[in-house]
Amino acid sequence: MTRLLLLVVLLAGSLGAQTSVSEWKALTEKEPQNGSAWFQLGDALLAANEPEAAVPVFQKARQLGFQPPVAAERMVRAWVVAKKPEEALKQLERMAQNGFAAAALVEADNALAPLRGDARYTAAIAKIRINASPCENGDTFKQFDFWVGDWAVYGPAGRLVGVNKIEKLLNGCLIVENWTGAAGMTGKSMNFYDASLKKWRQVWVDASGKPVLVAGGLQADQSMQLSGVGKNAQGEFLRRMTVSKLENGNVRQHWEQSKDNGATWSTVFDGTYKKRTTESIAAKQLSACADPNYRKFDFWIGEWEVHPPGTAAPNPARSSIQKVVDGCVIYENWMPPAGGDGKSFNFYNPSDRKWHQVWIATGGGVLDMVGDLEGKALRYTGVVVQANGSKALQKLTFTPLEDGSVRQFWEQSTDEGKTWTTAFDGYYRKRK
């Protein structure tokens, strides 16, 4: 969850300085599962010049699931402040070997300056940078690269049926499709490898407002095949998409569907992708997503700076929230100053009458959320499978405020909802 790191650091620093060690200790005794309180206690101990005492406290916060990357980095800082560089380097090396990926967080911490001339520090940072870009360094994330390009798409009879620009974003973790059909209908898809499922996934939304969700992987013939279940007025059906690289450098995209549980298949779309030269199609505005259900989240649209509560960050994160695909998708572009960008699709699905968010981060992280309006706020819920296989429940609430800002409040639970810890609390304010 790289979009959370910046505000947690800013918020923790301000609160830890304002609240005494004894007050935070009292809160951890009262609420021993409150990971945020443990983290704040660690920062208070650092501020009180008790760095060695802060180390196990940050470890406790980490174990409780409160921003494990930030808590781990704070442990390194504590050892440096304690003037024990050997312990700091050991901690950093353990983090690198265990998949720690927040390179920008470590490199931006001036407190770690005493380590930076050490070869072990350099080696650990090199490993962390590799961890931070798994999609650029892992072959699995490159399996669909053959589809990337600016294409003109032709049907079996040789007629131009659309143009499609396929872009690779977020350090190679996300492939975004930008489609305009011959009739002017637009569509957009997110394509990504979901490491928790060990599958490639596509989330497609076009101007009809009816999402398509498919998943699968690379086949023996090196084609990418994704499949799923669709639903229409006649009931459920199977669908599958096969994208194949052709010998001449072109690409074939073949969509099929089956109404008899896979016994027989019929072609829905068969297009040949050729490198685009002068082909152009103008998009047309449709009204499928003008229904009020598709407009419930419009209050989040805008160009924002994101700040912790009660203060203004000196170098805030930015977030561009745009309405695309003729108003059928709210497209998030998260841009924190220290890196760790992310993007999400937010869309209303008429099949289940729910809002959905699919989030992809530069580190390859994937998050699926489902929800709807509760009063004036839009609330999402979901589940994250963590590295150790355990599950963390997620609750994300967006609330429009009277001054035109929006509050994003994120909670998580590692004990099946018995207790909840604040993972993120940010205020979106219009950029000037």
Which of 205, 240, 275 marks a domain boundary? 275
The reply to whether 317 falls in a domain is: yes
The predicted structure's pLDDT at residue 205: 97
Residues 398 and 417 in one domain: yes
pLDDT tens readout for residues 57-75:
999 998 887 778 889 999 9
The reply to whether 281 falls in a domain is: no
Three-state SS sequence of 220-285 = CCCCEEEEEEEEECCEEEEEEEEEEECCCCCEEEEEEEECCCCCCCEEEEEEEEEECCCCCCCCCC
Residues 263 and 312 in one domain: no
Q: What angle (nearest 5°) sits at the alpha carbon of residue 12, between those of residues 126 and 105? A: 10
Residues 302 and 406 in one domain: yes
Percent of the chain clearing pLDDT 90 (strictly above): 75
* Residues in Cβ contact with 4 at an 8 Å cutoff, skipping those fewer than 6 apart: 67, 410, 423, 424
Contact of 48 with 21, CB cutoff 8 Å: yes
Q: What does the mean pLDDT of the chain come to?
A: 92
The reply to whether 346 falls in a domain is: yes
> 54: domain range?
2-132
Residues 228 and 127 in one domain: no
Mean pLDDT, to the nearest integer, of 184-213?
A: 96
d(CA 319, CA 49): 36
The reply to whether 301 falls in a domain is: yes
pLDDT tens readout for residues 123-167:
999 999 888 888 988 899 999 999 999 999 999 999 999 999 999
Phi first, then psi: what are they for 178, rounded to 5°? -130, 100
d(CA 57, CA 40): 9
Mean pLDDT, to the nearest integer, of 387-392?
A: 77
Residues 146 and 84 in one domain: no
Which of 84, 112, 132 marks a domain boundary? 132
The reply to whether 282 falls in a domain is: no
CATH number at residue 151: 2.40.128.20
Residues 196 and 223 in one domain: yes
d(CA 255, CA 214): 11
The predicted structure's pLDDT at residue 218: 98
Residues 268 and 318 in one domain: no
The predicted structure's pLDDT at residue 17: 43
Contact of 42 with 54, CB cutoff 8 Å: yes
Residues 117 and 153 in one domain: no
The predicted structure's pLDDT at residue 387: 64
The predicted structure's pLDDT at residue 15: 42
> 3-state DSSP call for residue 199?
strand
Residues 43 and 107 in one domain: yes
Residues 251 and 270 in one domain: yes
The predicted structure's pLDDT at residue 272: 98
d(CA 207, CA 351): 15
d(CA 218, CA 249): 18
The answer on pLDDT for 3 being more than 70 is no
The reply to whether 24 falls in a domain is: yes
The predicted structure's pLDDT at residue 275: 98
The predicted structure's pLDDT at residue 68: 85
pLDDT tens readout for residues 415-425:
899 988 888 88
Which of 116, 132, 148 marks a domain boundary? 132
Residues 321 and 414 in one domain: yes
The reply to whether 260 falls in a domain is: yes
Overall number of domains in the chain:
3
The reply to whether 44 falls in a domain is: yes
pLDDT tens readout for residues 324-380:
999 999 999 999 886 778 999 999 999 999 999 999 998 888 999 999 999 999 999
Mean pLDDT, to the nearest integer, of 223-239?
A: 94
CATH number at residue 111: 1.25.40.10
The answer on pLDDT for 432 being more than 90 is no
Residues 207 and 300 in one domain: no
The answer on pLDDT for 208 being more than 90 is yes
